[in-house]
Amino acid sequence: MKTVILGTGSALPEKVVSNDDLSKLVDTSDEWIRQRTGIVTRHICVNETALDLALEAAKNGLENAGVAPEDLDLIVVSTVSSDYRFPGLACQLQEALGCKKAMPFDIPVGCAGCVYGLDIADAFIKSGKAKYALVMGAEALSKVMDWTDRSMCVLFGDGAGCFVVGASEDDSRGIQAILARGEGANGDALVMKDREIANPWSGKKEAPLDYAKMDGQAVFKFACKRVPESINELLKPLGVSVDEIDKFFLHQANYRIVEAVARMMKQPIEKFPTNMDHVGNISAASVPRIMDEYNQQGLLKRGEKYILCGFGAGLAYATAYVVY
Ligand code: UT7
């Protein structure tokens, strides 16, 4: 038995913010952002919540899959910027969709989150605990950005993307293997601290909430090492050559990372879809969003071989090999 991707969905907030818009806020330029990242515009929440984005993406994904909300057994939401600390966004989504029997929970994995979510859903499906699962990445990252910090605020956007997956008896299709790992020793490279312990016994006054911070070069190097390494490690025991892969759907953090991975894997850049030019880095929503864009254009083909790869905070990374 295999877990197959039955459908994809995504949603973006209405407001589009250009590089020129950002150059009015911080000391940056369209030229710097384009050249260093490949990003031109991103969508930013003004009136939307993380739940609004997740709900729209879920409805699209379920419709695309032909699965009714009440048939979902599992909802895994990867988010680091949900509307509430608790309840989890997955619980809110479960209620909003009206899927009574689904087990909903969040995972705060960051940009690798949806590929982690696929691994979890795959385990639930293979164990017989779930028949249909929703794997969602939903982020309202604009609220954890310091809009005076040019090294961060130009990179990220808001959005949601999801996979609807289910069981299939056809072993030649679906998720063939997933590798999900963490490099915790370098976790300091991408962080957003929570409130400090401040209570009547700690002797500390409550400090203001921090913003997201990143050592960009450290994360860049981590990605360029771990992405090719994990693809090779995943495919080797399966006897699948990297040349056989039709598309590599990588996390859309930086066009230069995608270029570097293509070069290191000796693969043509055309095999690497990109959309960071118009959505920026939307963290956990990134991989399902780019696949959904391809799906909407009829560019995902049954039987094609895909690599899905997310990497980021943790430093966590996850790579999946999927026959669509
Ligand atoms: O989603 C999670 C995973 N995240 C990633 O994979 C991100 C990985 N890292 C990156 O994509 C890149 O490291 C960045 C895009 C974040 C930064 O690019 P970089 O080429 O590594 O730039 P840098 O941090 O080395 O900065 C180069 C220069 C610095 O100035 P000096 O010290 O050379 O004078 C920065 O202060 O660029 C400056 N700079 C900017 N200048 C204009 C940094 N941000 C900006 C900006 N506009 N927005």
Give 131-179 pLDDT, tens digit per residue. 999 999 999 999 999 999 999 999 999 999 999 999 999 999 999 999 9
Q: Indicate if ligand 1 lies below 6 Å from the C-beta of 135.
A: no
Give the domain-ending residue among 171, 203, 223. Answer: 171
Quote the pLDDT of residue 207.
81
CATH no. for residue 35? 3.40.47.10
Query: Do 215 and 141 sit in the same domain of this protein?
Result: no
Around Cβ 132, how many Cβ atoms within 10 Å? Answer: 23
DSSP 221-286: HHHHHHHHHHHHHHHGGGT--GGG--EEEE--S-HHHHHHHHHHTT--GGGS---HHHH-B-GGGH
Q: Are residues 126 and 162 in the same domain?
A: yes
Annotation marks residue 281 as catalytic: yes
282 ligand 1 Cβ < 6 A: no
C-alpha 58 chain-centroid distance:
14
Question: Could you say which DSSP state residue 148 is in?
Answer: T
Query: Whose Cα sits closest to atom 20 in ligand 1?
Result: 36
**Are 189 and 285 in the same domain?**
yes
- Residues 261-306 have pLDDT tens digits of 999 999 999 999 999 999 999 999 999 999 999 999 999 999 999 9
What pLDDT score was predicted for residue 208? 84
- Separation between Cα atoms, residue 81 and residue 59, nearest integer Å: 20
- Residue among 190, 198, 278, 266 at smallest CA distance from 228: 266
Q: What is the pLDDT of residues 188-239, one digit of tens each?
A: 999 999 988 999 999 988 888 899 999 999 999 999 999 999 999 999 999 9
Crossing angle for the helix pair 50-65 and 286-296, to the nearest 10 degrees: 40
251 tagged catalytic: yes
Indicate whether 62 and 163 sit together in one domain: yes
Nearest to 155 by CA among 37, 46, 14: 37
Atom number, ligand 1, closest to the C-alpha of residue 214: 16
CA 221, 227, 231 angle in degrees (round to 5)?
A: 155
Q: Please identify, among 121, 151, 171, the residue that sits at the C-terminal boundary of a domain.
A: 171
- Is the shortest distance between the CB of 312 and ligand 1 below 6 Å? yes
The residue range of the domain holding 84 is 2-171
Give the per-residue pLDDT at 205: 86
Tally the domains of the chain. 2
262 Cβ inside 6 Å of ligand 1: no
> Whole-prediction pTM value?
0.97
**Active-site residue among 45, 99, 111, 224?**
111
Q: Which of 220, 258, 279 to mutate to test the pocket of ligand 1 (most atoms within 8 A of CB)?
A: 220
Identify whether residues 18 and 131 lie together within a single domain: yes
- Among 22, 37, 144, 151, the mutation site with the greatest number of ligand 1 atoms within 8 A of its Cβ is 151
